Amino acid sequence: MNVFFIFTSSLFFLWIIRDLFYWLSLWQENEYRQDRFFATLSKRSKKNKFFSTAFLVAKWAVFFSYGFVIFNDDLLIPYQYLIISLYFLQSFFLLREISLNHLRKPSITFRATIVIALTLVTLLFIFAIPLTDRFFWLLFIDLITPVIVAFYVLLFIFPIEIYSDWQIEKAGQKIREHPKVQVIAVTGSVGKSITKDYLATLLSQKYTVIKTEGKNNTAIGVARTIIKHLDEDTQIFVAEISAYQQGEISMLTKLIRAKIGVLTAITNQHLALFKSLEKIKKTNFELVEALPRQGFCLFDGDNQNTLSLYKKSKKTKILYRTSRSSSLDSSGTNEIVAFGITNKQRKKVCTIHLHHTSLQVTLHASVHVERLLPAIYLASYFGMNEHEIKKGLTLLR
């Protein structure tokens, strides 16, 4: 049985490393925030894949069945073979993840390295002192791995929060030292990143533009962008901002001193956190409320939830939308409309109506026209001509 135990232990440690990476990357994706982590976990549990769910259920069933083995020695050997079989089958699941490139790996930062090291040392220590049957002990360690990862993640929260607050304050001070920078804040439930990227691409044809990268849309992510990239040459800062609790959008908008806002489509994507669509809408509307008097906001008119906030707002506002008609039905000076959208030979062709003028554009087929409209409007607002705008459009994918 020692040979079988060594074999099973090898498979066990391979899975533990995979599990450690999985849980740590999940924490990283949610910026080590408990509210985000548990909301994501709740959402993923409803969409869990068959194999991962099946193995988890099987492990817990085998774990609790040990209660019968304690009182019946004849069941111990079959029980050990059951655990061997479980890890043998699980190894195929791991190989499948690797072959499909689905293996999750965390970014190797200082914090992640410390958490990995401490978790591995703790697991090895527990492994070295089995308090009961060795095979059952492997299963026990396997099941508590997420808890140990969470423990070390949470252990560093307080010192990290102090450091984050210092970084946010430093970023706020730095942006106050650059009052001429035009700051555009983009928020909403979906389409934020694409809208931000389209804005940055178009505006960079004439201006020096910086933007938040990837999903760095929380206070610390935005702060790091400001500290690292904002300088004397920066003319425009495009910031994607997000929130997982009320008050965050307002705080971020004021932190970066945004003068222009873009409110994309609002859905029930974060319903697990906010509990109702109305709270999601209210949280996103904080962007509009936090803008200065001389500021203005663009609203997605193709989304009914965002459209309702457009109607609610008393500040200067612009509606961007698409129209199925091949000709413009109606449009005011506070609208930018794309109509006559057609696909031709892997290209997308449409007409953009803006300020009583029309712009004929040809785009790559993958471009989302409705998410491009804020970029075209603001490019025109900042004084870019048709040639500069069309040159920027050729870069979009």
At 277, list the tokens: 């669509």
- Last residue in a domain, options 155, 188, 213: 155
Residues 231 and 374 in one domain: yes
H or E element in which residue 167 lies:
helix 157-176
221 & 332 share domain: yes
Q: How many CA atoms lie less than 13 Å away from 250 in the CB half-sphere?
A: 9
Q: Provide the 10 A C-beta neighbour count for residue 61.
A: 10
Choosing from 109, 140, 155, the residue where a domain stops is 155
Q: Residue 332 above 60 pLDDT?
A: no
- Residue range of the domain that includes 285: 179-393
> For the chain, what is the mean pLDDT?
89
Quick count: other Cβ atoms within 10 Å of Cβ 369? 18
Q: Are residue 135 and residue 192 in the same domain, yes or no?
A: no
Using one digit for the tens of pLDDT, what is the confidence trace for 222-254? 999 999 999 999 999 999 998 878 899 999 999
Q: Is residue 44 part of a domain?
A: yes
Mark whether 120 and 188 lie in a shared domain.
Answer: no
Q: What is the pLDDT of residue 125?
A: 96
Is pLDDT above 60 for 4?
yes
- Cβ of 45: how many Cβ atoms within 10 Å? 10
**Per-residue pLDDT tens for 50-73?**
567 788 888 999 999 999 998 888
Going by C-alpha positions, the residue among 354, 352, 356, 353 that lies closest to residue 393 is: 352
**101 shares its domain with 187:** no
Q: How many domains does the chain have?
A: 2
Q: What is the pLDDT of residue 292?
A: 94
CA 305/CA 267 separation, integer angstroms:
7
Residue 167 lies in a domain: no
Contact between 370 and 321 under an 8 Å Cβ cutoff? The reply is yes
160 in a structural domain? no
Tens digit of pLDDT for each residue in 138-171? 999 999 999 999 999 999 888 888 988 899 999 9
Residue 6 lies in a domain: yes
Q: The domain that contains 322 carries what CATH number?
A: 3.40.1190.10
266 and 129, same domain (yes or no): no
CB atoms within 10 A of CB 332: 9
Whether residue 303 sits in one domain with residue 201? yes
pLDDT score of 118 more than 90: yes
- Domain end position, chosen among 121, 155, 189: 155
d(CA 168, CA 184) in angstroms, rounded, equals 18
Does residue 211 sit in helix, strand or coil? strand
The answer to whether residues 143 and 183 belong to one domain is: no
Provide the CB-side half-sphere exposure for 99 (13 A, CA).
Answer: 6
Are 372 and 396 a contacting pair, CB within 8 Å?
yes
Quick one: 115 and 197 in the same domain?
no
In a domain, 174, yes or no: no
Q: Over the Cα atoms of the chain, what is R_g?
A: 26
Q: What is the mean pLDDT of residues 250-273?
A: 89
Would 332 be classed as within a structural domain? Answer: yes
Q: Judge whether residue 117 has pLDDT over 90.
A: yes
What residue has token string 């209660």? 67
Share of the chain above pLDDT 70, in %: 94
The reported pLDDT for the residue numbered 272 is: 65
Contacts of 24 (CB under 8 A, 6+ apart): 106, 112, 115, 116, 149, 153
Q: Per-residue pLDDT for 285 more than 90?
A: yes
Residues 13, 139 within the same domain: yes
C-beta separation of 382 from 182 below 8 A? yes
pTM of the model: 0.76
Residue 47: the pLDDT is 46
Q: Is there a domain that residue 37 lies in?
A: yes
Measure the CA angle with vertex 387, ends 381 and 389; round to 5°: 45
Q: Which residues neighbour 91 within 8 Å (Cβ) at sequence distance 6 or greater?
A: 11, 14, 15
Whether residue 187 has pLDDT greater than 50:
yes
Residues 226 and 100 in one domain: no
Domain assignment of residue 265, yes or no: yes
CB 210 within 8 A of CB 238: yes
Give one word for 188, left, alpha or beta, with left for phi > 0 and alpha for psi -120 to 50: left
pLDDT of amino acid 333: 61
Q: Are residues 358 and 225 in the same domain?
A: yes
The SS3 call for residue 340 is: strand
| pLDDT, tens digit, 9 for 90 and up, residues 90-109 | 888 888 888 888 888 898 88
